[in-house]
Each structure stands twice: as structure tokens, then as C-alpha cells.
A and B are shown apart, each in its own frame.
Chain A
Amino acid sequence: MRTLRLLTVGGVIAYRALFNWTTPAMFVGTLLVSPVFQLLFFVYLGRTLHVGDDLGYLVGNAVLSAALACVYGGTMAVANERRYGTLGPLLLSPLRRAAVFGGRALPYAVNGVLISAFTLTVGALLLRIPIGVRSLPGLALAICVGALSCSFFGLTLGSIGLRFRDVWLVSNVADAVLLLVSGVNVAPAALPPVLRAAGALLPLRHAATAAREAAGGAPLARLVPPLGAELGLAAGYALLAIGLLALFERGSRRHATLDVL
């Protein structure tokens, strides 16, 4: 019960305290408007170059839009503790780190789902792209799994904030790399093997594949392999985040560098 409370209530409190983009202006401007413009940019680029189709870009970029909240949010969830001077008291508490930090990823995953749904809806309305009602369950599933996976990936990046000062540098690069290798805007087959492999190990590639299949009318059963792979990545990043947090916490205690900015 206590662990569940830490995961949920603790996660929400941390979200409200540490996420810099919760003011209405920042939330709307950065998290809602920006992904819609990103979607429009790639739809028009795809049309100009005759690459892919509008539906593929719409659905793929809607899934990708969760990255903004999840990557930067996950980073803020850890790095801002140090910035606001609360990291010391937090790490002094005898609470289980897995529950404390694991719960922090959840609000960002919910945020990511909301942003993806908004981008998909507004994009479909602006571009007049019909989405079948039968595609919606599969799309919703893909969006949820993608946001969860990306959220744990963000937490992994955030854990680096316990060790390195310029964690925003990491999240900026990660966001750009996801744009390139997630297969949303450039087909994986068109990328060199190294980038293709990187895309398979980073979040959102499999979720975007599942979302596109769902939008194309595929039954839920066909979404199981890509969504299973994405869930596997989510679990992997969750474990990696907890492991890195424990490692860097020990290191920062040993070298007395916890509050070094």
C-alpha cells in the first residue's frame, strides 16, 4: 500500500513540483502547439518529396509527440531535485528508490498520452485525414505503450543528472535522435544499419509501427509483436534507470558531489 502511494501520490507531487512546463502558457505552447507544427512540417515535407503517405506521418508523429513531455519531463524529474536543492533530503529518506523514482515516470507517461491524442486529433482535423473508428483501440494501445516506454527512457536520461551537470544537453540530443531513428519520418530501411539498430533499441520505433498498422486497419492480434517489443524496452529502461540512479547516488555520496552544480 505504501509503495503504491509512493508510486502514485509521490509521482504526482513530484510532477507538480519539478516539471517546469505546467503553467498554462508553457503547457499549451510547448507541449500542445509545438508537436502539431512538427507534424505539419513533416507531412508537407513528405508530400513534397513523395515519401510515405499523410496517414503514416500523422499517426507516426502523433506517437512521437509524446517524446517531448517524456524525455524532458523525465530529465526534470531528477535533475530539478538538484537544481532546487531538494536532492539531499530526498536521498536521505529511507524510502525505496525504485518506488520513489519509478512513480515519477508515470505522470509523464499520462502527459505523453494526452499530447499524442491531442496531436492526432488536431492533425487529423487540420489535414482532413479520416481515421476509422475501428482503428482507435489499437491506436490508443500503441500511444499508451509508446508513452510509457519513452517516459522510462526519459527517467534513464534524468538519472544521468545525478552525475553530470549538463543534463539538458543529453535530453536535447536524445529528442533530436528520436526524430531521426524512430522510423516515424524516415523509414528504417532508408537508414544505415547503425542508425537502424539504434532505432530498434530506442523507444517509440515499435509503438509507431504498431500505430501505423492499427491505422491501416490491422487487427489487434497483429499489434502484439511490436507492442511486446516496446513493452520490453519500457521494462529495460525502467531497470536501467533504477540501476543508474543507485549507481550515481552511491558515487555522489562517496565523492561528496551530490549538490555540486
Chain B
Amino acid sequence: MNPVRMLLLGTLLQVKQQSRSPLEITISLLVPLVQATLAVYLFKAGTNPPALLLAAVGAGMMGVWSSVLFGSGAAIQNQRFQGTLEILMITPMRPAFKILPITLATGLVGLYSVVATLLWGVLLLGVPPSFAAPLWFVVAAPVCVLALGAFGLLLASTFVLLRNANAIVNPLGYPVWLLSGMLVPVTALPGWTGPIAAVLPTTWGARALRAAVTGGPVWPALALCVGEALIALVLGAIALHFVDRRARVTATLALT
């Protein structure tokens, strides 16, 4: 099968599957709405707050990261539970092409969060939809989401090696939200966090979306987000190749 066709069809199938899960929909829709409400009221309570739209956009990005983090963490584990991992892995295609649709789908399902928090903020919380560069926002949001989905491949390949992947996944939400500047500007954090933030594609994705809202060049941050995601994609593909070979040699593919 053509790899591009497999990626597209696989991603579509996974988006459909994840969109039918009440738990996925809750995490992608309801939880970000609660977070957006919290962020908007906090911003309103503040003295000299930044643009309220940043609260809604930031909460949406938080939802995307949650979706990618939990989705990628469970990407391979879920296939094991469903009994489809062996069938998937014996498909004559590179391992990355089989798992990437799952992680891309987690990002795309996370896109619900961005749309939902924006609509929620504008329609119900009185957030003025004042984008400095609306067209750039329309371009940047899906690009960031896909970039995070690609980054998810590295997460998935790392988590598959760990017995207790959830123990890593669960505490990784808040630190990435904080370090990436989704609601708190990176400049407000201690200086030593800067290099850590710089290697996260979420930082550049959030920065690109902030620039689209408040003004400033969007493309440099967006390019860095995509660049880092591509590096993560290559690293994830290499890691998955070795994980796949090791699991075949030791006959541990289906073992939890």
C-alpha cells in the first residue's frame, strides 16, 4: 500500500474511532471548556490582564497537549487491549507508518479543544474575537496540532518501553502547560527553565498562536514547532523500529 494513503486512511480511521469514545470526547471537549472558563475568569480577575482571547486559545492548546499526551501514552497499550497489535505490526510497512496515524489522530481530536474553547469563550464568556492575524491563526492551529501529533510518535515509542507509562504520562500535563507558556508567559518562569522550554514543540506552537492573537511574526515560531516535531518524528521512527525488532526477537509483542 502507498504509505501516504495508509497514513491518510489510518489517521481518518483513528479519528473516527477516538471520536466515538465518550472518554476521549470528554477529555477533548468538556475538560478544556472547564479550563477555559477558569482561565477567562482568572484573567478577568487580574489587574492589567493580557488579552482574554489568550486564555481561550491557551486552554485550547492545553487540551491538545492532553489529548496527544494521553493518546500517545496509550497508543500501543490500547492496541494490545483490543487484540489488534499483532495484526497491525505484521502489516508489511515500516512501524512508524502504523503508529503515526494513531498519534496524528490524537492531535486532530485535540483540535476539537481549540475550536470548542474559542467558541465557548466568544459565545458564552464574552471574550472578544480580536485576532491580530486571523488568517495566520487558521493556518497555525492545524499545523501546530499536526506537529504535536508527530511529536506524539516519539512519546509513544518511549512509553512502549516503560511498564508504567501512565506513571510518566499523568504528571506530564501541568509541567508542559507551564513550560510552554500556554497561559503563563515563559518570561515569568525561572531562567533555568528556558532551555527545557526551547526543546518542546509545544512552546513554539503556543508562541505562534499567541503571536496570531496579539500580533508579531507567526512563522518563525511555527517553523521551529514544525522543525522540532520533524526531528521528534525521525527519532520516534528509529526508536519504534528497534522496539519492533526487539519485541519480535523476544516474542513479547503482546505482553503488557
User: Is B167 within 8 A of A185, CB to CB?
Assistant: no
Q: B31 — which chain A residues lie within 8 A by C-beta?
A: 172-173, 176
CB of B9 within 8 A of chain A? no
**Is the pair B171, A49 in contact by a Cβ cutoff of 8 Å?**
no
Q: Which residues of A contact B164 (CB under 8 A)?
A: 23, 25-26, 29
B38 and A180: CB pair below 8 A? yes
Which chain A positions have C-beta within 8 A of B184?
41, 44-45, 48
Give the residues in chain B near A34, CB-CB below 8 Å. 170-171, 173-174
Q: Within the assembled complex, what's the spacing in Å between the Cα atoms of A246 and B170? A: 33
Does A38 make an interface contact (CB < 8 A)? yes
Q: Which residues of B contact A180 (CB under 8 A)?
A: 34, 37-38
A103 to B218 Cα, complex, angstroms: 56
Given A30-B166, A45-B183, A50-B48, verify A169-B171 contact (CB < 8 Å).
no
Interface string of A33-59 (1 = CB under 8 A from B): 110011011001111111100000000
* A173 touches which of B26, B45, B167, B189 (Cβ 8 Å): B26
- B26's contact among A29, A41, A169, by CB below 8 Å, is which? A169
B44, B46, B173: residue with the most chain A Cβ atoms closer than 10 Å: B46
Q: Total interface residues on B, using CB and 8 Å?
A: 36
Hey, which chain A residues are within 8 Å of B189, CB to CB?
44
B interface SS class: helix
Which residue of A23, A29, A47 contacts B171 across the interface (Cβ within 8 Å)? A29
Q: Report how many residues on chain A are interfacial, defined by Cβ distance under 8 Å.
A: 35
A136 contacts partner chain B, Cβ-Cβ < 8 Å: no
Asked whether, in the complex, the Cβ of B188 is within 8 Å of the Cβ of A48, the reply is yes
CB-defined interface of B5-49 with A at 8 Å, one 1/0 digit per residue?
000000000000000001100110011001101100111111111
- Not counting A48-B185, A49-B43, A173-B31, a sample of 8 additional A-B residue pairs whose C-beta atoms are within 8 angstroms of each other reads A23-B164, A25-B164, A26-B164, A41-B178, A168-B23, A172-B30, A179-B35, A180-B37
B175 CB–A CB distance under 8 Å: yes
> Cβ of A169 and Cβ of B22 under 8 Å apart?
yes
